[in-house]
Amino acid sequence: MIWQVDIILLPILVVTALAALHVRDLASATAIFAAFSFLACILYASMAAVDVAFTEAVIGAGVMGVVFFVALYRTSRRSRE
């Protein structure tokens, strides 16, 4: 485990998590969430947990990002009269 990578990644993870919570646009929040998941993947890989890193990359950044964007695409922003 390289502690310099941890010191760099942990504050970035906190910032991306807070940004995903506070941004008003749902598409932007989804993109920031995918970036958070990718950064968590890098952190897991630096801890030598390659299986967890691979799962986080596939499920967190890949599948969930697609599912969230499809859900945003299928919903409408305005109510129908």
| 79 belongs to a structural domain | no
Q: Spell out the alpha helix ranges (H) of 1-81.
A: 3-22, 26-46, 50-55, 64-74
Per the structure, the complete domain to which residue 19 belongs is given by 3-74
What amino acid occupies position 37?
S
| 50 belongs to a structural domain | yes
The pLDDT confidence band at residue 75, using thresholds 50, 70 and 90, is confident
Q: What is the pLDDT, as a whole number, of residue 78?
A: 62
If one counts the domains in the chain, the total is: 1
Task: Look at 3 and 77; give whichever has higher pLDDT.
Answer: 3
The pLDDT confidence band at residue 1, using thresholds 50, 70 and 90, is low
Backbone φ and ψ for 21, nearest 5 degrees, come out as -80, -30
- For 38-65, the pLDDT digits (tens) are 999 999 998 889 999 999 999 988 899 8
| 80 belongs to a structural domain | no
**pTM (2 decimals)?**
0.83
